[in-house]
Structure formats: C-alpha cells, structure tokens
Amino acid sequence: MKTVLFIPGFREDLKTRDYKSIIKAIESKGYTVQFVPINWQRTVISDWVEELDKVYANYDPKDTILAGFSYGSMTAFMSATKKNPAELWLFSFSPYFSDDMPKLKKSWLNNIGHRRADAFRALDFNKLAKAITCKTLIIVGDVEAKKYPLIGNRSRVAHKAIKRSRLITVAGSDHDVTDKSYITAILAAI
C-alpha cells in the first residue's frame, strides 16, 4: 500500500478548506494519506521543502506519493527533484518559477512578499523538471486556468517538460482541490 504525503495550499492547514474530504476520497482508493502541515509564516519555499523532507525521510520513496495543492504542489515538486517518489501529484500547480515571475501581477507579488519572490526567482523550472523521472499527475481546473492563465500555462508547460506526466483539466472547477468535480477527477485518475 502506498502512502500519500499531502501538502496544502499557501497559508492553509487541515481546517482552512475541506481537506478531510480529499483525504477521505484518496483513502477510499486504498491509499494511506498523511497530511503534512507547513509553517507558512515568514518562510520561503526552501523552508517548506525542508519541512516536507523531514516527514518524507520516514518513508520509502518507492512506496510514497508526493501530492500537493497550489503552493503545496510546488513544495512537492521541489522535494521530488531531490528524491523521486513513486508518483508525484500536482494539483493546481502554482506558477512561481523564474520564468513565471516577470508575468505575475504586482498584486500577487505584493501578497507573497519580497523574500518569497526572490526565492521563487531562483527556481529554474526547466532545469528542475529534468530531475523528475517518476510518474506525474497534473490536474488543473478549467475555470481557474481561465481566471488565472499563468496556472493553466504552468500546468501545460509542466506536462510537456516532465516525461512521464499526464495532464487533466477539470471542467467547471476553480482553484479548489476540495471541489466535488476536482475530487471526482482525482479519483478517476488514480
């Protein structure tokens, strides 16, 4: 049985949105799910990856799936570049890599702060993607891809760059991994 290490979105924890529903749904497919809380306050992506890696170190990568939503998907991706899991699941993969940063709205940059923005500017997606050799599932909602074109673009670019990846676009779904249609798409894919 594989264990899914699930990383939430930015500034989120188990209670912020209905993460219990996605955990229960994934468990219904025979997986064990460990929710990995992240300290988002005054931290940058290297800190988030370090937090995940402390948990990941307790598992055998060949029996582990790294899954994340939004910033959590970036965190899972970055961890996987160092130690590939059995699978990588990227839900609403955030567009905060060096090639994305010039295209981000000023309000998005102000929201994340200059330290996080500087940390993201150092992340060369194309170089990092070459380190991903595991099976990778990328899911994005079509509503979020229209509302936030950079998220849709990042998902398409990731699909092209990661060799063993599959991209699924969820009809009628916004930036919410706990949306019923999003969960249905995940269950169908796994």
Instruction: Determine whether domain 3-189 maps to CATH 3.40.50.1820.
Output: yes
Mean pLDDT of the chain: 97
User: What are 61-104's pLDDT values in tens digits?
Assistant: 999 999 999 999 999 999 999 999 999 999 999 999 999 999 99
Q: How far apart are CA 11 and CA 126, in angstroms?
A: 27
Map residue 145 onto helix, strand or coil.
helix
For 57-117, give the DSSP string. TTS-GGGEEEEEETHHHHHHHHHHHHS--SEEEEES----STTTGGGS-HHHHHHH-HHHH
pLDDT tens digits, one per residue of 166-177 = 999 999 999 999
Tens digit of pLDDT for each residue in 107-165?
888 889 999 999 999 999 999 999 999 999 999 999 999 999 999 999 999 999 999 99
Neighbours of 98 (CB within 10 A): 15
DSSP characters for 174-189? Answer: -S-TTSHHHHHHHHHH
